[in-house]
Amino acid sequence: MILTLIIALLSLVALMVIHEFGHFIIAKKFGVRVDEFGIGYPPRLFGKKFGETLYSINLLPLGAFVRIYGEEGKEGDVDEYRSFVGQAIWKRVLIILGGVIAFWIASYIIFSIVFMIGADLPISDGATDGLTNVRVQIIATSQDSPASNAGIQAGDIIIEAKNSDLQTVKINTVKDYQDFVKNHTSEQIYLKIKRGDELKEFSLTPRENPPAGQGSTGIGLQRMATIINKSPWYMAPINGAVFTWTTTRDALKGLYTTFSMLFTGKGAPAGAEFAGPLGITVFLAQAANMGVGFFLFFIGSISVFIAIFNLFPIPALDGGKLIFLIIEKIWKKPVPVRVEQIITAVFFFILIALSLFITIRFDIPRFWDFMKSSLSR
C-alpha cells in the first residue's frame, strides 16, 4: 500500500511536470529564454545545463516549475526581445495558456488509453440499467478493526455474507452489506470474498460501538461496475476526445452548482469533499486499489479539474496572469510591476493559507486513516 501511495504521488507530480512543460515548450517555440525547468521545488539536489536552460531535480516532490526570463517583469526586461514581457500580448497569452492546454492534452491521452483497456467505475446502489460486472468492493480497512484483524484487505470483493445460522445474503449493493451487519451486530458473521481469482471466507464480529467514522466492521465500501468497455484502437482516440469534453462540461456544471450554493448560503452540495495535494494523493492511492482503468480515469479527471482551476481569475494562477494581460491590452500599458507583484503575493499567501487549512482540517486525517489502514495489513 505504501508503494501505491508513492505511485499516486508520482502521478500527481507528473501532471504538474506536464503543466510546466506546456509553458516551457511554447516559450521555447517563440524564442523566449527559459532559465530553468525544475522537477520538485528547491532546495536543488542536482541539475544539468543543456544549452541555456538548467534542468534540475529538487528536494520537495510537490510539483514542478519553469523559470522564464522576464516573466517577473523586472526593469529593462521589456525591451529585451527574448524576455517574456518583451513579447507581443498574444504570444504571452499562449505561453500562459500552454500549461492549461497541456492538462487537457494529458486528459485526452489518458482517457483514450482508458477506452483502449476499459474501466470499472463507482456507481450508486440505485444504478441498474445496462450494467456489467457489478460488485461491492472494499476500498479501505481501518486499523485494529474486525475486518483488518480477520485479514480482509482493500481491493477485496464481497460476494455474500452469512450469519452463525448459515443464513446467506447475496451482497449486490453497499446497503445490502450495511443492513446485514446492522442486523447481526455483536454476532459472528462470515464473508465470502473474492481476491483476484481466489474465493476466500473470513469470519468476524461487527462491533456495537465502533470508533467514529469506522463502522461496525471497519471497512469502506464502493459499488463498482464496468462502465467503459474496451474500444477498438481506432475508436479509442475519438471516444477519448468526446469524454474529455464531457468531463470538462460536467466539471464546469458541478463548479457552478457548488459556488451557487455556497454564495446563496446553502452550503456545499451533498457528497462534496475538500482536498489539497495530500488528499488528492490519498484518493489516487485508493483509486489504484480499484483497478488500473479507474486509476487512469481518476488521473484524467483530476487533470481536467486542475486545468479549470488554473483558469480561475485569481492572481498567482494562470487565469490571474491572463487578467493582467487583458488590463494591459485595454489600458495600452502594463500594470506597474510593483503593483502586480504585491497583488500576486497577497493572493499567493491566501491560497497557501487555504491550502494549509484544507491540509490540516481534511487531508491529514485522510492520510492518517490511510496509513493506519495500510499498517494494519
Burial of 259 (0-12, 13-18, 19+ CB in 10 A): exposed
**The pLDDT value given to residue 316:** 86
- The mean per-residue pLDDT over the stretch 285-291 comes to 82
SS3 annotation, 306-355: HHHHHCCCCCCCHHHHHHHHHHHHHHCCCCCHHHHHHHHHHHHHHHHHHH
Q: What is the pLDDT of residues 116-160, one digit of tens each?
A: 999 999 898 888 777 888 999 998 888 788 998 999 988 899 999
Q: What does the pLDDT look like over 43-62, one tens digit per residue? A: 999 999 999 999 999 998 88
- The pLDDT of residue 92: 96
Average pLDDT over residues 339-355: 91
Which residues have a Cβ under 8 Å from the Cβ of 258 and sit 6 or more positions away? Answer: 268, 269, 272
CA separation for the pair 53, 23 (Å, rounded): 14
DSSP for 127-173, written as a single string: --TT-EEEEEEEEEE-TTSHHHHHT--TT-EEEEEE-TT--EEE--S
Q: Supply the pLDDT for residue 13.
A: 92
pLDDT at 74 over 70: no
The H or E element spanning position 304 is helix 292-310
Per-residue DSSP letters for 44-102? EEEEEEETTEEEEEEEEEEEEEEEETTTT--TTGGG-TTSSTTS-HHHHHHHHHHHHHH
Average pLDDT for 279-306? 90
How far apart, in Å, do the first and last CA atoms of the chain sit? 9
Q: Is the pLDDT of residue 101 over 50?
A: yes
Query: Model confidence over 160-217: pLDDT tens digits?
Result: 999 888 789 999 999 999 999 999 998 999 999 999 889 999 999 999 888 877 789 9
Alpha-carbon dihedral angle through residues 13, 16, 18, 19, given to the nearest 10 degrees: 180
Distance from C-alpha of 99 to C-alpha of 129, rounded to nearest angstrom: 39
Q: What is the pLDDT of residue 268?
A: 56
Q: Which cell numbers hold the place of 38?
A: 525544475
Class of 132-228 in CATH: mainly beta
What's residue 58's pLDDT? 95
Q: Which residue has better confidence, 8 or 106? A: 106
Every domain range in the chain assigned CATH 2.30.42.10:
132-228
Place of cell 466492521: 217
- pLDDT grade, residue 78 (50/70/90)? low
Local confidence band at 257 (pLDDT 50, 70, 90 cut-offs): confident
The pLDDT tens digits for 245-254 are 999 999 999 8
Q: Is the pLDDT of residue 374 over 70?
A: no
Residues in the chain: 377
